[in-house]
């Protein structure tokens, strides 16, 4: 859903932002193809994974060009820009910030130099040892005064790009294999030099990454929807702990760390597109099964089942199927409300969710309604939905949630609300029911959610529900979204103070006054 300023978000209420994934990554090696345009359409298919900025780097074998800016993929790029990004290799990225605020300097791919050429790198995930990596750079160089770090980039991605410069090895491939085992946390990296495309996935495989085949080359992407969009056939997932290199000699694979899967269960619940497959399991079918299981665990006497579109639809289908209740579209979503760049008036802003959803009164009036959604964060959205349904004449509203209560923050690439803001931490289910105005409220059990994914519990990360973190976390003072923007951190440029805590998808752009806010970053590196 696009906002009044033309930027996208999935929120029905701006004051109740949904969980946001960090990024989508895309890479292509395809001589003879228009790789920048392939990357554009690949990123377009991955737009749900990051809506704050977008960028594409391309190489013609001699030099790398990169174009990136704040905004949606369709806003950052036009035909002329894509035509200028010539070559046979490209790396693309769409971003949602988890380490490093939403500012122009943090757009990706990042650029860096190495003894063996230039590197352009995009990252999906979140490193947990960013503070330690930064200390390594300061210890070696005295301060972070080179590469994009010197230009104000405050992301963990910039740390990886900078550290590649210092690794031992006779090629970028060897340097990457030396660096990757030292990275901790969740990371899917897609990067390139002038002639080779690279990809790597952390040993836990927290975020998805897939390898696909074109007639004339190869593609790597966060989800297979991006492969289908560009006409690539899926070959397989990049394995946890695997590093691959793609060039004229084909695909080379290295296992840089032992696989210890802890895939994010929330990818199955909400983050991934419904047409994704993760570890052999259809995300859509997982969500439908979550709805079925939710109905088995808690079925109410009701007349109809309706979803909160779009994320609640598959689970509502499953709930209706298992409960025997008829499925109906009680809400109509306005897909075009955000296509304008005109801010709504104060009167319209007060309407909130009604700008995005309309209730079909003839569907719900006089009926006992089961309304299915994927998760509850602060509860404001559910309160508004229940109120709308009752104002439309619903006799009863029973809210069903296809995930357990969210109680813990994510440090592996999802930007949740803080623990204090999560409604499940401050109230019982009965209290939440009363707070949102529903006649009843039920969450799926953690066991039921896991069973619906078809994955062993031991291979999933459920930290946001259970508080059990599969990757060790650093001390509190060495983590956080704005870690590398702390004024006291040695070697980092001083940044303008940011207001608020964890500014989510509605944060204002954070730009230094001496930077040109009108001109996107476009850089050409010649060897």
Instruction: Render 84-135 in DSSP notation, one character per residue.
Output: HS-SSEEEEEEE--SSS-S-GGG-SSEEEEETTEEEEEEEEEEES-HHHHHH
94 known member of a binding site: no
23 is catalytic: yes
- The response to whether 410 counts as a known ligand-binding position is yes
Q: Per the residue annotation, which of 23, 94, 188, 501 is the catalytic one?
A: 23
Name the helix (H) or strand (E) containing 289. helix 283-297
Binding residue per annotation — 188?
Answer: no
Q: Is 373 annotated as a binding residue?
A: yes
Q: CB atoms < 10 A from the CB of 522, how many? A: 14
CA distance 390 to 396: 7
SS (H, E, C) 9-78: CCCCCCCCCCCEECEEEEEEECCCCCHHHHHHHHHHHCHHHCCCEEEEEEECCCEEEEEEEECCHHHHCC
Grouping H, G, I as helix, E, B as strand and the rest as coil, residue 373 is strand
Number of C-alpha atoms within 13 angstroms, CB side, residue 185?
A: 28
Among all chains, which residue has been given the structure tokens 């955000």? 338
66, 112 Cβ separation under 8 angstroms: no
Buried b (16+ CB within 10 A) or exposed e, 491-515: bbbebeebeeebbbbebeebbeeee
Instruction: Report whether 282 belongs to an annotated binding site.
Output: no
Residue 374 is assigned to a ligand binding site: yes
Distances (CA, A) of 310 to 225, 273, 297, 357, 450: 17, 11, 23, 11, 22
Answer yes or no: is 464 a known binding residue. Answer: yes
Q: Report the binding-site residues for [4Fe-4S] cluster.
A: 264, 410, 461, 464
Q: Which residues are annotated as a binding site?
A: 264, 311, 373-374, 410, 461, 464
Supply the residues annotated as catalytic: 23
Residues annotated as binding site for Mg(2+)?
311, 373-374
């Amino acid at each position: 859903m696009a906002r009044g300023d033309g930027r996208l978000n999935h929120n029905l209420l701006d004051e109740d932002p949904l969980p946001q994934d960090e990024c989508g990554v895309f890479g292509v090696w395809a001589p003879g193809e228009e790789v920048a345009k392939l990357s554009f359409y690949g990123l377009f298919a991955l737009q749900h994974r990051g809506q704050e900025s977008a960028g594409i780097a391309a190489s013609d074998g001699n030099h790398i060009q990169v174009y990136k800016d704040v905004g949606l993929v369709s806003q950052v790029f036009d035909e002329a820009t894509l035509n200028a990004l010539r070559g046979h290799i490209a790396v693309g990225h769409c971003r949602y910030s988890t380490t490093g605020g939403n500012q122009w300097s943090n757009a990706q791919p990042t650029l860096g130099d190495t003894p063996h050429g230039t590197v352009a790198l995009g990252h999906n995930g979140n490193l947990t040892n960013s503070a330690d990596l930064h200390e390594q750079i300061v210890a070696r160089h005295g301060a972070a005064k080179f590469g994009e770090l010197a230009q104000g980039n405050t992301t963990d991605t910039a740390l990886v790009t900078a550290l590649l410069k210092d690794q031992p090895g006779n090629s970028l491939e060897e340097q990457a294999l030396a660096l990757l085992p030292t990275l901790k946390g969740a990371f899917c990296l897609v990067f390139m030099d002038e002639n080779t495309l690279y990809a790597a996935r952390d040993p836990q495989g927290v975020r998805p990454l897939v390898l696909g085949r074109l007639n004339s080359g190869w593609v790597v992407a966060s989800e297979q929807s991006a492969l289908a969009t560009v006409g690539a056939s899926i070959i397989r997932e990049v394995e946890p702990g695997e590093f691959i290199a793609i060039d004229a000699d084909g695909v080379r694979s290295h296992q840089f760390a032992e696989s210890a899967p802890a895939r994010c269960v929330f990818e199955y619940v909400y983050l991934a597109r419904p047409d994704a497959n993760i570890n052999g399991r259809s995300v859509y079918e997982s969500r439908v099964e979550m709805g079925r299981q939710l109905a088995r665990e808690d079925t109410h006497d009701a007349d109809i089942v309706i979803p909160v579109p779009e994320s609640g639809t598959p689970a509502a289908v499953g709930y209706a199927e298992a409960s025997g209740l008829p499925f109906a579209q009680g809400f109509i979503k306005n897909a075009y409300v955000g296509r304008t760049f005109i801010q709504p008036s104060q009167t319209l802003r007060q309407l909130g969710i009604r700008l995005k959803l309309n209730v079909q009164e003839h569907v719900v009036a006089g009926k006992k309604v089961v309304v299915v959604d994927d998760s509850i964060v602060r509860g404001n959205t559910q309160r508004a939905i229940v109120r709308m349904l009752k104002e439309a004449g619903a006799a009863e509203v029973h809210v069903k949630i296809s995930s357990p209560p969210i109680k813990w923050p994510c440090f592996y690439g999802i930007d949740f609300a803080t623990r204090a803001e999560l409604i499940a931490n401050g109230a019982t289910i009965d209290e939440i029911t009363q707070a949102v105005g529903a006649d009843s409220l039920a969450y799926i059990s953690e066991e039921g959610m896991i069973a619906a994914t078809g994955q062993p519990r031991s291979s999933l990360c459920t930290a946001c529900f259970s508080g059990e973190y599969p990757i060790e976390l650093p001390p509190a003072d060495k983590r956080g979204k704005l870690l590398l923007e702390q004024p006291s951190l040695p070697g980092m440029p001083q940044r303008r103070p940011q207001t608020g805590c964890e500014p989510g998808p509605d944060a204002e752009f954070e730009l230094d006054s001496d930077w040109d806010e009108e001109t996107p970053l476009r850089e050409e590196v010649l060897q």
